[in-house]
Every structure is written in structure tokens, then in C-alpha cells.
A and B are shown apart, each in its own frame.
Chain A
Amino acid sequence: MSSRIHALDPDGSVTANGRDDAITDYAAGNLSPAKHAIMSCVVELNPRAAKKAAFETNVAATLMSEIRPVPLSPLFIGETLAKLPSREPMDVAANDDPRDRLAPKPLRDLMGGQGLRDIEWKSLVPGVAVHDVLGNRRTRDGDRLYLLRAKGGVSMPEHSHRGEEWTLILSGSYLANDRVYARGDLHIEDENTEHAPQIAEGEDCICLVMTQGPLKMKSWLPRIVQQVVGI
């Protein structure tokens, strides 16, 4: 079966094969939390995607005026005013260490403000490790969000999945089905495709990955390990 590959096009469409629908669903607030998190990071890393998202967010905000307003309860404003914190100058530096910039801000926020230094990696197969971002457990929608780190030169275990797989490349690069993916690229694989990305020599490749349902590993070793690390 030929695998359908989607990636950021040089002309700025976020994904080839018409996957700009991800931007519309993002702007409208229709994505699951894991996918929304990935798109927030894509938007930070890719100015063209950001521009598209901004336009469609304007469309969404404009259409909001067509929805019937619902009055707030009488005590709402008063109760909220009572809860207002005193405003202190924000400590920008605390969440903006240059060494942490490898991780886009929405990802750092999800990880309690930390960057990718000092995080705990769990080994999947030699050269490949994972770190759960949304806490190593399924969300109700079945999505999992995790970081994946692969050493330069390794091949990822060949796998397919039951649902979609969204991969945002944060560092390094890999080759999958004759296409190179690098920082800021969003790679979406449909269900029922098999692929085995080849990590480029040199730098570690770190990706933010969303998968729906467990991966289907082709060989027995990763199959066993994945049960332990839970992807």
C-alpha cells in the first residue's frame, strides 16, 4: 500500500494533500486537546501557518456574533471582580530561558514551564526514547501526546496505527517515503499506512507526536517494549 504523506509545503500550506483542514479545525476550536497542542506549536514555529490560523481565527470570532448570547448570572461580574489578583509585572524570564527554546512555548506550558533539558526519557528500542507529555495515559478521546527522541542514523521501527499520527519535528530531521521532514514541519499520517522513518545522520531528532490508539509495531521487540512505555 502506498503511504500518503502530508507535510508542510514550501508555499506554506500546512500539509500537502489538502490538510489545511487541520488549521480550520484548530481555529474553530474543534481539535482534541492533543491535536490542538500540536497545532499551537506549529503556529509558533511556522509563520505561514500562523498567518493562516490568524485569518481563520478572525473568521471564527466574526461568526461568533451569529450565536445567541446567553446572559451571565446576576452575580457573575461581582464575584469575578472579587477574585481579581493584584497585577504584578510578569516574570517573563522565568519561562524563557534560551536553552529551552527548542520546545515551543505551548509545549513548555504543558510541561509545567520546563524545556526539554532534564526530562526523563524511557527507552523504546536502542536509540529511540519517549517522554509522555500528557501523562502516559489515554485521554478520553484516545489521543496520546508524547515526545520522541531518536539518535541520528537510526531507523524507526516500522509501524502503522489505528488512527492518525501527527508528528511535529522540533530538532534534527528524518526521511519518510522520500520526503525530508525538519523543524517546524508537521507530518500527518492517516490510519492504515505503514511507515518507518529514517533519522538523518548527526543530530538527535526530537519530535512531538500525537497518536490515536496504540501503534501497531511490525516486529516483536518494540511490540513488547511499547507495552511498558505505553505508546
Chain B
Amino acid sequence: MTTKQTPRSGGFTPSKKSVSAAKRDAAWLDSIANKQDARALSELFEVYGPKLKGWLMARGVGNGTAEDIVQDVMIKVWTSAHMFDPAKASFATWVYRMTRNKWIDHQRKHGRMDVRDPELMKVIADDEVPSAEEDFMTQQSTDILREHIARLTEAQQMAIRMAFLEFKTHKQISAETGLPLGTVKTRIRSAINALKTSMARHQEKLL
């Protein structure tokens, strides 16, 4: 893990690659929304499907269930593409949030000791569309965020990796590392705050 990097004087410039990825995603979404273009949807999921499936399987979801969830997400992208606003969010964040919420839905529906009335199950929460949380980060900023994550201290990186990549709650991290719960909270908080400060500074530079 690289923790210490040579400090650079200027801000980060988003790579051409990510700018074009954002444009490409937005064009696909537009095509789906306005032309019912199934090919655009296929191309989008050739790119994002394996990432989403990888995320689910890293959480311990089985192959079949992971594909079922990605399929639900793909259908959801098809039906709500018109709600995607590239000015507000990157597609990566938008589709991540959908997948996360579908995964929680899946646990809710299958985590019961006994099965509920199927009629009620049918109408339950099938239309989670991210709306309340507005992003203020675009795809380009995602690149910069990644850079800033790499510049966190080793302790901070370890803590946020355990939360976001090993999917552990603060309590689980504390139990596993032997660190007091308060220390875990402080590390994650300080990491998030450091990222926020860096991103705010970066955005000021753009103005």
C-alpha cells in the first residue's frame, strides 16, 4: 500500500480517460432514456456489470444471487434512465447506490425467519431510485478523490478500507483490530474529513 507520496504543488487534473468515460456513460444513458436503446444498455453493463457483480461477491453473495441482483439493477437503469442527471452524479455512484439498495432489499426479503404474504411482498419497495442524496461530485472528481484516498495515512486507509471494502461496521472493525471503538470512529471520521477538505479545496480551485 502506498501511503507516502511526493507532495505535489498543484491540484490534480482529471485524466482524459475518466472525462471520456463520463461522457460515454452520459451518452449511453441519454440513448436509453430517449431512444429506448437496448444496445446502449448492453454496452453500459458490459462495463459496469462485472464491477457490480464483483462488489456483491466480495460481500459474500453467491454467483447466482449476485447476477440476480445485477439483473434487477440493469432493469432498473432501463426504466429510470430519464432520472439520471450527469450534472449531479457520476453513473458509477448512481448505479452503486442502486446496487447497494437492491442488496439491502434482498437481505430484507430473504433474511426473515418466515415468509410473508406474497401479495404484500410484490408491492414492497421495488422502486428505489436515488433522489434524496444529491451528489456534488462528478466523474472527474472521482479520479481526484481516488488520489486523495491514496494520500491518507496508513491507519486512516486501513480503517476506511475495512469499512468500504471489507464491509465491516465500526464495531466489527474494533473487535477485529483490537482498537477501541472510539479510535476506530476517530480514524474513519478523520479520513472522511480529510477527503472532504481536499475535495473542497479542489472545487474552490475550479471556481
Partners in one complex: yes
User: Taking CB as reference atom, which chain A residue is nearest B168?
Assistant: A30
| Interchain CB contact under 8 A, A134 and B108 | yes
Q: Which of B4-12, B22-30, B124-132 contacts A (4 or more CB under 8 A)?
A: B124-132
* Closest beta carbon of chain B to A35's beta carbon, Å: 10
- The number of residues on chain B lying at the interface, defined by a beta carbon within 8 Å of a beta carbon of chain A, is 77
B19 contacts the other chain (CB 8 A) = no
* Closest beta carbon of chain B to A27's beta carbon, Å: 8
| Interchain CB contact under 8 A, B169 and A50 | no
| Interchain CB contact under 8 A, A24 and B163 | yes
- The number of residues on chain A lying at the interface, defined by a beta carbon within 8 Å of a beta carbon of chain B, is 64
Q: A24-B188, A59-B160, A76-B67 are in contact. Are A33 and B142 (CB under 8 A)?
A: no
Q: Which of A61-69, A172-180, A200-208 contacts B (4 or more CB under 8 A)?
A: A61-69
| Interchain CB contact under 8 A, A69 and B192 | no
Q: A54-B136, A80-B75, A135-B116 are in contact. Are A61 and B96 (CB under 8 A)?
A: yes
A135 to B117, CA, bound (A): 10
A138 to B108, CA, bound (A): 11
A36 contacts the other chain (CB 8 A) = yes
B14 contacts the other chain (CB 8 A) = no
User: Taking CB as reference atom, which chain B residue is nearest A87?
Assistant: B79
B132 contacts across to A, CB distance below 8 A: 40, 43-44, 50, 105
| 0/1 interface trace, chain B 151-175, chain A, CB 8 Å (1 if under) | 0000000001101110111100000
| 0/1 interface trace, chain B 41-60, chain A, CB 8 Å (1 if under) | 11001100111011101110
Binding site for B on A (CB under 8 A): 18, 20-21, 24-25, 27-33, 36-37, 40, 43-44, 50-51, 53-73, 76-77, 79-81, 83-85, 87, 90, 95, 105-106, 109-110, 112-113, 134-135, 137-141
